[in-house]
Amino acid sequence: MRHFPTFFDLQDKPVAVIGGTAMALQRSRLLIAAGARVTVFARTLAPDLAELTLDGQIRWEAAQAEPADLAEYRLAFVATGDAEGDAIAAEQARRAGVAVNVVDRPELCDFIMPAIVERGAVTVGISTGGASPVLARNLRARIEAALPARLSELARFAASFRDKAKSLIAGAAERRRFWDAVLDGPVAEAVLAGREETARSLADELLADGAAARKGAVYIVGAGPGDPDLLTFRAHRLMQQADIVFHDELVGPEVLNYVRRDAERVYVGKIKSHHSKSQEQINELLAEHARAGKRVLRLKGGDPFVFGRGGEELDYLRRQGIETIVVPGITAALGCAASAGIPLTHRDHASSVTFLTGHTRDGELATDWRVLARPDQTLVVYMGLSNAASLAAKLLVAGLPRGTPVAIVERGTRPDQRVSTGALSDLKALAERHKDGGPALLIIGKVAALANADIQTFATSLKEAV
């Protein structure tokens, strides 16, 4: 390890920036964010850097920095934009006894700047020792994606409990178990979800009863329409933390590959005329494993609250007194339409969109078909493939034109996605093409003509529709 990693407290400390370039501006902004008192030494300033002087955020010395000028400063950052100027400025700083960093010149540096990931009080620095700044930036991007947006709130929350935990939990090992339970369980997830009052209540329970550290929780998580790249950051994090995962038919192996390898996996999928487990059995299983102290992940295709029975599971678990957190996912309507190139709303052709299910509890869709048959809207039908003929007939009777564009998107967002397009009068025949395929979504309305079509095809389809 050539460079020793450390963090300086620069709050209200004097720091020099030598140079008036765009890179000097970048360094100045970082230092201002750290609370430093920044002085820039330069004959001229880049426009945005000059604005910082006008705002009083930095002080400007329109002169070359001499050793006597730099003696009071804790650190010096050099960015003159000129190789000779950089070398001279670095030497002047060293003669003043000030540690120096020169932008893009590691051979002139006493210390180097890491790539930084910041979440408030939580700061991560990544360095390759100057070997590859681009690699450091790439690593930063990966870490940015992995760290929750509210991580700073979690750090602040933990700080607020430190004294209380120390006074109530005597041993270091017991305190460590308490903090493990706080930072890797329902308490942390409540903080990260913005539910601090719930988090405090759960943390107080942990303090009051050490056994409560083993208290479980259920996370009802939307897995999106199929492409694992469409998982949310939060869904991915919970998939890595779960002890047991209950997953649906619509959650494919590509998504399940992101689940922690040693987590138990239980299939509870439902397909037409065959349910591996009833909804009541699923509810009971979720509650049973949470009571056993496990982190239970209920992984559902799309979004759990859009035709996913997530609401029924949430209601049951809350009535059982089990901590339950819901994480939304990209619902199939949004994911499949985007993947097929279909805008669900369009300023010229669709001013509203309606989501329907092709299957209800009693098997009959009770709705006002005249409202659904309005021409300037988009209908998206989930689980409607087997009822496509009946759906088309009712819309035609209600007055929707026979030429209204329709699209069927099968296995939307996945590599084996299939899209069929046509007119409402052809919907029965189109559905036959997909009867032996995977899950499919019906999109009905003028915008469906955009699926995999050029603008001329779209214009022709619209004329036929009206």
Residue 295, φ and ψ in degrees, nearest 5: -85, 110
User: Among residues 319, 378, 316, 314, which one has the least CA distance to residue 346?
Assistant: 378
Q: Which residues are catalytic?
A: 248, 270
User: What is the DSSP code string of 164-186?
Assistant: HHHHH--SHHHHHHHHHHHHTSH
Which pair of structure tokens corresponds to residue 456?
């001329």
SS3 390: helix
Which pair of structure tokens corresponds to residue 285?
């299983």
Q: Which element (helix H / strand E) includes 20?
A: none
CB 442, CB 380: distance < 8 Å: yes
Residue 300, φ and ψ in degrees, nearest 5: -125, 140
Q: Enumerate the β-bridge partners of residue 458.
A: none
Q: Enumerate the β-bridge partners of residue 327.
A: 221
CB 140, CB 117: distance < 8 Å: yes
- CA dihedral of 165, 166, 169, 170, whole degrees rounded to 10: 180
Separation of alpha carbons 261 and 279, rounded Å: 26
